[in-house]
Amino acid sequence: MKSKIINPCISCILFWVIICSSCVTAVSPHIITPNDFQGSDIERIQAAIQAASETTQKIVIPANNSNGTQVWKIDRAILLPGHITVILDNCVIQLSDSCRDNMFRSDNVGIGITNPAWSHQIHITGIGDVRLKGSDNPRSTGDAYRTLMLSPESGRVSYGSDAGKEGLKQKGDWRNNLIQIACVDGFSLTNVKIENSHAWAISFERTRNVEISDIRFHNPETIWVAGERKKVFNKDGINLRHGCKYFRINNITGINGDDLIALSSLDVAPFFHANGDVDSYQVTSTKWYGPEDDTEQVFITNCQTNYTGVAIRASDSASIHHVYINGIITKARPDIPPPYGGSPYSLLVGGIGYGQASIPGKINNIYAKNLMGDGKSLILVQAPIAHCAFMNGIYTGSAPAAITYSVEKAETRNVREINLEKVVVD
Q: Break the chain into its structural domains and give their ranges.
A: 62-422
DSSP 82: S
On whether the CB atoms of residues 390 and 418 are closer than 8 A, the answer is yes
Upper half-sphere CA count for residue 20 (Cβ side, 13 Å)? 6
Tally the residues of the chain.
426
Q: In terms of Cα–Cα distance, which of 117, 78, 104 is closest to 275?
A: 117
Question: Distance between CA atoms of 363 and 292, rounded to whole angstroms?
Answer: 15
pTM of structure = 0.92
Q: CB count, 10 Å around CB of 250?
A: 17
The predicted structure's pLDDT at residue 328: 98
Beta strands in 269-401 (DSSP E): 295-305, 310-314, 320-330, 347-350, 363-373, 379-381, 386-395
The predicted structure's pLDDT at residue 354: 82
Residue 402 carries which side chain, given as an amino acid letter? A
> With a cut of 50, which residues of the chain have pLDDT below it?
1-6, 8-28
β partners of residue 176: none
The predicted structure's pLDDT at residue 387: 98
Question: Distance between CA atoms of 77 and 264, rounded to whole angstroms?
Answer: 25
Beta strands in 196-234 (DSSP E): 202-205, 208-219, 222-225, 228-231
Q: In terms of Cα–Cα distance, which of 277, 76, 96 is closest to 174?
A: 277
The predicted structure's pLDDT at residue 337: 84
The predicted structure's pLDDT at residue 341: 82
The predicted structure's pLDDT at residue 370: 98
- Dihedral of the alpha carbons of 143, 146, 148, 149, in degrees to the nearest 10: -120
Q: Which CATH number fits domain 62-422: 3.90.75, 2.160.20, 2.60.120, 1.20.1330?
A: 2.160.20
The predicted structure's pLDDT at residue 351: 82
Question: Distance between CA atoms of 105 and 49, rounded to whole angstroms?
Answer: 13
Upper half-sphere CA count for residue 274 (Cβ side, 13 Å)? 5
Q: Where are the alpha helices (DSSP H) in 54-175?
A: none
The predicted structure's pLDDT at residue 20: 43
